[in-house]
Amino acid sequence: RLSVQRGTRGTLLGQLRGASPPPAPHPWNQTLAKASGWEAVGSAQEQRRSFLRDFCGKHNSRKKLQSHLVHLVSRIYVEDRHKVLYCEVPKAGCSNWKRVLMVLNGLAASAHNISHQDVHYGKHLRTLDSYDLQGIHTRLNTYTKTIFVRDPMERLVSAFRDKFEHPNSYYHPVFGKAIIKKYRHNANEEALKTGSGVKFKEFIQYLLDSHRPVGMDIHWEQVSKLCYPCLINYDFIGKFETLEEDANYFLQLVGAPAELKFPKFKDRHSSDERTNAQVVRQYLKELSKEERQLTYDFYYLDYLMFNYTSP
């Protein structure tokens, strides 16, 4: 992986600053936006991009993010054949997006035959920080950059359900044990030993604690800190709420094979009800009014950047 030294960091920031946002997306099939059935999706894209541009202009977030350059491109996956950069936001369709990137890259014939294990631990896809500085710079300026986001509270509840309500050999012993030990009074020996059975309220106490007993995790980290949307000028902003439509439109725009469609299947725990607004409401009932407000404050930037309605 590229280690960005202090001097290099400044260079990269200078290059990013120098790259003025393109007025329109890269070498896309612009006629597609006007083609039958896609006008609404194309118009939603225009609105999302201009909304984010205005937000970043008003909040001048470029200045605030300078210190994070080491991590700037570590979550961005590269697909060189179709010149795509995809910033991974967990719990917003990322597993299926990685499957699609593997198919685009010629690493698999179909997105449907790739296991969860292969997607996340197979090391088939390169991230942008594995290239040298010139490689990073060239790709940032010439590839089509996309990000897919999700309502922050839905994403948070989805992450909690996935990691803490199902057996998990990493999240229970690493996060669960630390959370139960710090926030559960009179925890029994079994809970302290296994870290299983974390309650949503305990998880939120951990999330909001400035002295967390264990660090942050990408599944509930803010999108503003995963993908730096005010420093990296994303050409396409997809939303989990319109995932298939946005994804299939994007695939056409970058010239993907006509037969490649974004997978519809739920990656894991397929029998569980998908996390939606109704499910979220049930979880938020477990919190005090103050905890709900603080959780919203924690994701405040994500709500603003991507124009989500506050809960």
Residue 171 and residue 186 share a domain: yes
pLDDT tens series, the chain, 311 aa: 344 444 444 445 554 544 444 444 454 565 665 666 788 899 999 999 999 999 999 886 555 545 445 468 999 999 999 999 999 999 999 999 999 999 999 888 888 888 777 877 777 899 999 998 889 989 999 999 999 999 999 999 999 999 999 999 999 999 999 999 999 999 999 999 999 999 999 999 999 999 999 999 999 999 999 999 998 999 999 999 999 999 999 999 999 999 999 998 766 666 678 899 999 999 999 999 999 999 999 999 999 999 999 88
> Looking at the domain assignment, is residue 140 inside a domain?
yes
Q: Are residues 131 and 172 in the same domain?
A: no
Residue 306 within a domain:
no
Flag whether 48 is in a domain: yes
Q: Reading across the β-sheet that carries 236-239, which strands appear in turn?
A: 126-127, 76-79, 84-87, 144-149, 236-239
* Overall domain count for the chain: 2
Q: Are 223 and 151 in contact (CB under 8 A)?
A: no
Q: Do 196 and 76 sit in the same domain of this protein?
A: no
Same domain as 114, residue 178: no
The DSSP output letter for 308 is P
Q: Domain check: are 83 and 184 in the same one?
A: no
The torsion angles phi and psi of 148, rounded to 5 degrees, stand at: -120, 125
Q: Is residue 10 part of a domain?
A: no
- Does 261 reside within a domain? no
Query: Which pTM was predicted?
Result: 0.87
Contact 175, 163 (CB under 8 A): yes
pLDDT for position 60: 66
Q: Where in the sequence is the domain holding 197, given as residue range(s)?
A: 154-219+275-299
What is the Rg, in whole angstroms, of the alpha carbon atoms belonging to the chain? 20
Residue 198 confidence (pLDDT): 98
Same-domain pairing of 125 and 248: yes
